[in-house]
Structure 1
Amino acid sequence: MTMMDLPPSLISTLPGEYYTDPAIFAEEQERVFEAMWFCVARASELAKPGQFRTYQVGRESVLVSRSRDGSIKAFLNICRHRGARLCTEESGEVKRAFQCPYHAWTYGLDGKL
């Protein structure tokens, strides 16, 4: 009898360490979440310019916002200067720009410094 002949309830799963081993988890993060596009939201969730949402994608915090021209932009939720998180809230709205709480570097709604 082969594995293909077994009823679904008797097919074995991965060994337990595949669910708990930090090295396997890190490899999954790299190969799945960091190697390809990943859908985090619908455009309708950001109806007007200045609205934003933050998402944890693998090991990175991502900031998604609607820019002034109406397009959706996504970028890492960190300041290039000192690595501080730009937005700590899950969602919200800014009037003009995102400002780093550390040294006040300012980024437009499109992510440009």
Structure 2
Amino acid sequence: MPDVIQERAGVQVLVCDESGPPVATVQDALDLIGAAFAGAEVVAVPADRLEESFFSLSTRLAGEIMQKFVNYRLRLAIIGDISHHLETSTALRALVRESNRSDHIWFLPDLAALDARLSEL
């Protein structure tokens, strides 16, 4: 299934396919942002599509990608189990905790959790 815009909890969401191309660079994130401009307010990216370096905060990739979404006023939802990354990084755990308190970047276990979060808006 390709990346598609779906209405979820009354919000237009670009739901990215798990088997799509990896998000390994800022340009890859900008490509998703461009696709979202077809009417989406949120981009839901499977965690498995994110390059491993995204979860290593010393690479700064996560911060650069997240900042692009904030700059373009799009919400980013990273969907999936990232527990193996969280186990090894106190900094990543703090980032996830703070991001989930915000309105722009969320780390969620599945699309059902995204739907619940969107219904709170």
* Pair in the same fold by TM > 0.5: no
Larger Rg belongs to: 1
Could you tell me the TM-score, scaled by structure 2's length?
0.24
More helix by share: 2
Could you tell me the TM-score, scaled by structure 1's length?
0.25
RCO higher in structure (CA 8 A, sep ≥6)? 2
More strand by share: 1
